[in-house]
Amino acid sequence: MTGEDLLSLDRIRSVLTRLEDTIIFSLIERAQFAHNARMYQRGAFKELTDLGFNGSWLEWFLKETETFHAKARRYTSPDEYPFTSDLPDPVLPPLSFPQILYPNKINANPSILSFYTRAIVPRITPTKKHADGIVGDEESEDDGNHGSAATLDVEVLQSISKRVHYGKFVSESKFLDKPSDFIPHILNRNREALDALITKPEIERKLLLRLQKKATTYAQDFGAEGELMVNGKVNGSGKIDVDGVVDLYESYIIPLTKEVEVDYLQHRLDGLSKDEIDKLARSK
């Protein structure tokens, strides 16, 4: 594929659409396990403190997983971003990726980690209700599956991260399509105007509708005879809170993708001379 093909907006949007499936399925997997709030609290595992690690159980999982993946050069790829820092160098020689994105240091993973652990995990994991309808206390929301749950958290986080950072490709594609529309607002540091230029309400509306349908479909289960079963019962509730998935996109994933798009644009002219900027502005 040439650099131009890689920047086709249709191709980029097809990647975003495919990632919807990855995100929904990984959330369904995570939702099998309890909230396990301790996993997200720093210092809650004495075993880790004894090892000299002061972060949370999930942060330890991220650090260990990313240490390994960094050695296999995962984070040299322009669509992969780590959640942790001070990772080892790859053991393999570098691959040469086509230079598509303008060099930048944008990494939205701290925001992703924060909304995922605070808003998403508590929302999608099962809440034990007592016979009197009172929600169970924190202890009853811990099933002890800390390894399985954290493994799935890492998968969800990596897929959301890939999706959100794909905003950089969307931005580059929109910028190169008509640089002269963007350049004055980049030079004037006008975030609102850049946000208005990249926002496509019709695309967002269709995405949320599609997501609702996908989540409803994937949440279904089938019995041995192929009969529709939900939560082990005919007509029970689904494997995932569908509104929770839609809300995740509407309140977090789309707004953060747009933030990445605008951040990227704000730095799109860094280091260019006036002549180079004028040439870009005249190009289309």
Interface ranges with ligand PRE (CB under 6 A): 13, 16, 170, 198-200, 203-204, 207, 254, 257-258, 261
For the purposes of burial, counting CB atoms within 10 Å of the CB of 85, is it exposed (0-12), middle (13-18) or buried (19 or more)? exposed
DSSP code for 129: B
Which CB, 206 or 284, lies closer to ligand PRE? 206
Please state the closest distance from residue 259 (CB atom) to ligand PRE, in A. Answer: 10
Closest distance to ligand PRE from the beta carbon of 163 (Å)? 8
Give the containing element (helix H, strand E) for 213: helix 201-218
Closest distance to ligand PRE from the beta carbon of 263 (Å): 13
Q: Which is nearer to ligand PRE, 221 or 250 (CB)?
A: 250
Specify the residue, 17 or 237, whose C-beta has the smaller distance to ligand PRE: 17
For the bound state, the minimum distance from the C-beta of residue 171 to ligand PRE, rounded and expressed in Å, comes to 8
- Coil/strand/helix, residue 234: coil
CB of 175 or CB of 218, closer to ligand PRE = 175
Residue 220 zone, left/alpha/beta (φ > 0; ψ -120 to 50; rest): beta
Nearer to ligand PRE, 157 or 160 (CB): 160
d(CA 221, CA 231): 8
> Rounded to the nearest 10 degrees, what angle do helices 274-283 and 179-187 cross at?
150
* Closest by CA position to 154, among listed 111, 117, 119: 117
In the complex, which residue's CB is closest to ligand PRE?
257
CB atoms within 10 A of CB 152: 19
Taking the complex as a whole, the smallest distance from the CB of residue 204 to ligand PRE amounts, in Å, to: 5
Q: Which is nearer to ligand PRE, 150 or 160 (CB)?
A: 160
For residues 14 and 41, which CB has a smaller minimum distance to ligand PRE in the complex?
A: 14
The least CB distance from residue 254 to ligand PRE, in Å, is: 4
Q: Where are the alpha helices (DSSP H) in 31-106?
A: 46-50, 57-71
Residues 53-72: b if buried by 16+ CB within 10 A, e if exposed: bebbbbbbbbbebbeebbee
Closest to 262 in 3D by CA, of 162, 160, 170: 170
Shortest reach from residue 261's CB to ligand PRE, in Å: 6
